[in-house]
Structure 1
Amino acid sequence: MKTKLTTILLAATFSFSIPVIANAQQYTATAVTAPADSSIRPFKISIPQAKLDELKRRIAETRFPDQETVKDESQGIQLAQLQALVAYWGKGYDWRKIEKKLNALPQFVTNIDGLDIQFIHVRSKESNALPIILTHGWPGSPLEFLEAIGPLTDPVKYGGKAEDAFDVIIPAIPGYGFSEIPKEQGWNPERVARAWDVLVKRLGYTKYVSEGGDHGSVISDALARQAPTGLLGIHLTMPATIPDELVRPINAGDPVPTGLSADETKAYHALRTFFGRNAAYGGMMVTRPQTTGYLLSDSPSALAAFLYEKIAEWSESDLQPEKVIGRDAILDDITLYWLTNTGASSSRFYWENNNNNFSSKHQKTQEINVPVAISVFPHEIYQAPESWSRAAYPSLYYYHKAAKGGHFAAWEQPQVFTEELRAAFKTIRKDL
């Protein structure tokens, strides 16, 4: 029975959510337009105060479970830690601050393949800026990249050179944030990737690069397999590198096979632990996204617990993500999920992408011919060994171990993340 459950988790856990927001127009003054309209419309956020008041009321009415029976996090986020976060959320946190910050950025919405896609688009003042599309994951959002926008678009101000500049495009995956929630099946990574290519070219670019972690890595892989004209390369922080011969042993929880290097052994241990003990959330979303959504849509504290656990576990923070991301920034992300009611829709992307996204075979990385760059962060779910990475991605041209950071690379370490992108795409700029 244990092996069967683990198999479900390994096969499905990193099928990434393709959530979309229902009724994006209720949060903006933008007029509803016909699906065939390919215009790019300005977007502003204005959450009704009644929704914020309702959130505070629901937080105040939280019924917490009894305390865990262990002295560590092995049963999940500890009661005292979540109670502290929720108490601040209800009495000290102010959504209007992030709303104002977002509204100061160039935000837009455009209809692609029948859905309204909301995105941030910041152009650099540098004439040679390289267009880059940044894709978030779960339990993150476009908010992951906010602190990296400045260093990427204005490198001179942040210790770089003018030739390091990027034009930045940050879309919300359908079913996340302020993008529309799909009402039909089929919005998987391949379809999102095609939409991203349409978006970039609709903005007037003919050449660009793609970057992603978590869902963003999966979508960038899909984009690279499609290899649309103008895609110069991709950068991944969560690459799919598990060799096919190791998928079954990891799945079964087998001892480390003989003959692995130190880096490979470390990765094997990390993956076996992840799939064996920490991947139940993915099994829930990939098999019962709607049932999961009922919980996440009705209780803000349940939503907070579900998202915060992984933010704590996957960040390089000793389970104290406030130290590296910030308490308000974490609550900005959780509140975004709540206000857009995307608990269920974000879960459905896992259902749509019923796959093991760490497996090089399942991700069909051998089919990728577009140049690939990989940055390995020390507290990622697993640190992809260079040997596995080169075998998985024949077109790999850049591999580097970053000094610090975890799964949420840009959110945790925006400067390190920026430096990785500058280095990774340095040689590609010549093709602009």
Structure 2
Amino acid sequence: MSARSLTRREILVATAAAGAVGLLPGTLNAAATSSSIRPFTVNIPLEEIDELRRRIMATRWPDQETVADRSQGVQLARLQEIVRYWGTKYDWRKAEARLNALPQFMTEIDGIDIHFLHIRSKHTNALPLIMTHGWPGSVFELLQTVGPLTDPTQHGGRPEDAFDLVLPSMPGYGFSGKPRGVGWNPDRIASAWAELMQRLGYDHYVAQGGDWGAPVSSAMARKAPTGLLGIHINLPATIPADVAAVLAA
């Protein structure tokens, strides 16, 4: 196993903890109607956080690796260090406040609640941009882009570089609803994103996605919804034929 793939694995281990937000219930501020856009605030009860920490610290560990390097994968000591951090040191309230400092919303599309951040630029004529996170991540991985993309003049850019950002949580991730059946493949998510952008009043926009967000953005390009001007992808995911068949079911 190469050093590069090991680094990727360690990133996934750490990122998976960010996906733990899906284990914690959020708080809706308004009752839902079929196409309404409702404000959303994250407010996790302390007992839920304590229970998650208890489960993290109750991890049953495998035996230590039989080699002195990482050729067998992430070393046990390193993994235990990461888990101890998430179980005892990670400040969820700080993360919660970081999310709540940005405009968050919820809307039902295709029978499922979709959580998303919608940050409008102060610059006129900002180009709308919908960005899709990866697996097993969340919108947290995109938060550092908010400042440079919505307010480029504060980061060495020009007003014409500005974007209005839409950052949705994919179905089953973060605070979005969990699918109750099969079929939520990249094409279906792409259709939901097109509906979301239309619902927000954008008649033209661009899309970006990385990792699992890449096939979603690619599907948007294939489906060519009205108003989509172009896409940008990074870390494109290669889906084996058997997996693709399952996703399409």
TM-score range, shorter chain: 0.7 to 0.9
1:75 counterpart residue number: 72
Q: Distance in 2 between matches of 1:57 and 1:113?
A: 36
Match of 1:133 among 104, 118, 130: 130
Offset of 1:71 from its aligned partner? 2.0
Aligned: 1:198 with 2:93: no
Identity percentage of aligned residues: 58
1:22 and 1:180 in contact (8 A); partners too: no
Aligned: 1:222 with 2:219: yes
1:13-24 map, 5 Å: none
Aligned: 1:93 with 2:90: yes
Q: Distance in 1 between matches of 2:101 and 2:41?
A: 9
Structure that is richer in strand per residue: 2
What are the ranges of 5 or more consecutive residues in structure 1 without an aligned counterpart?
1-18, 252-282, 287-348, 355-432
Greater relative CO, 1 or 2 (CA 8 Å, sep 6+)? 1
Offset of 1:94 from its aligned partner? 1.3
1:58 counterpart residue number: 55
| Amino acid corresponding to residue 102 of structure 1 in structure 2 | L
**CA distance 1:55–1:23, change in 2 (3 Å):** closer
1:136 and 1:215 in contact (8 A); partners too: yes
Structure that is richer in helix per residue: 1
TM-score (norm 2): 0.85
1:182 counterpart residue number: 179
Offset of 1:76 from its aligned partner? 2.0
2:8 counterpart residue number: none
1:103-122 map, 5 Å: 103-122=100-119
Q: Distance in 1 between matches of 2:22 and 2:101?
A: 23
Offset of 1:353 from its aligned partner? 5.2
Q: Distance in 2 between matches of 1:219 and 1:144?
A: 16
2:28 counterpart residue number: 29
1:115 and 1:180 in contact (8 A); partners too: yes
Match of 1:163 among 151, 155, 160: 160
Aligned: 1:352 with 2:247: yes
> How many pairs does the alignment contain?
230
**CA distance 1:190–1:60, change in 2 (3 Å):** closer
Offset of 1:60 from its aligned partner? 3.0
| Amino acid corresponding to residue 65 of structure 1 in structure 2 | P
2:28 and 2:41 in contact (8 A); partners too: yes
Point out the structure with max Rg over C-alpha: 1
Q: Distance in 1 between matches of 2:94 and 2:108?
A: 28
